[in-house]
Amino acid sequence: MGKPGLIYLLLFFLSVSCSVEKLNLSPINDSVSGKSSSTINYPEKKNLIVYSSEITGLISSIPKFKNDAVNAEIAVMKYHLKDYIDAMEAYNINGLNSAQRKFERSYKKIQSLRKYLKPEDDAILNRYLVRIKTNMTLLESNLPKDSINSPTKY
């Protein structure tokens, strides 16, 4: 057996010994694609990410106003929104409910403080509040109802 025959034989054994039984080239892993026992499928997970990122983008871009009471309550609302999103990511139902109640209380307080703003500032704040509330409603509608049983992803 010559040198070229030995090289072909070596390549043949190398290719046979390195074969893969199951190759998964999908960018979606099994836990998201629905093959596992997880209750959140890919479109729901995508919606949760979209709405929560929209909320975090909104709370980071809210401008400062000349009224200190409004600014202070906006800071409180931002904190409760961050708690809500963190609780949602951790599948913490009690934290989710608590943060939602605190957010709603802060939201109502901001609504009552809006009368002390200039009309231009009130319109800007109203635009942010409407978008935040809309995304919160969409986020709540996409949360799985039995997320207590959902496994945590490590």
Residues with pLDDT less than 50, the chain: 23, 25-26, 28, 30-38, 147-154
- In the prediction, which pLDDT does 37 show? 42
Does the pTM of the predicted model rise above 0.85?
Answer: no
Q: What is the 3-state secondary structure of the chain?
A: CCHHHHHHHHHHHHHHHCCCCCCCCCCCCHHHHCCCCCCCCHHHHHHHHHHHHHHHHHHHHCCCCCCHHHHHHHHHHHHHHHHHHHHHHCCCHHHHHHHHHHHHHHHHHHHHHHHHCCHHHHHHHHHHHHHHHHHHHHHHHHCCCCCCCCCCCC
- In the prediction, which pLDDT does 88 show? 87
- In the prediction, which pLDDT does 110 show? 96
117-154 pLDDT, tens digit per residue, is 999 999 999 999 999 999 999 888 887 765 444 444 43
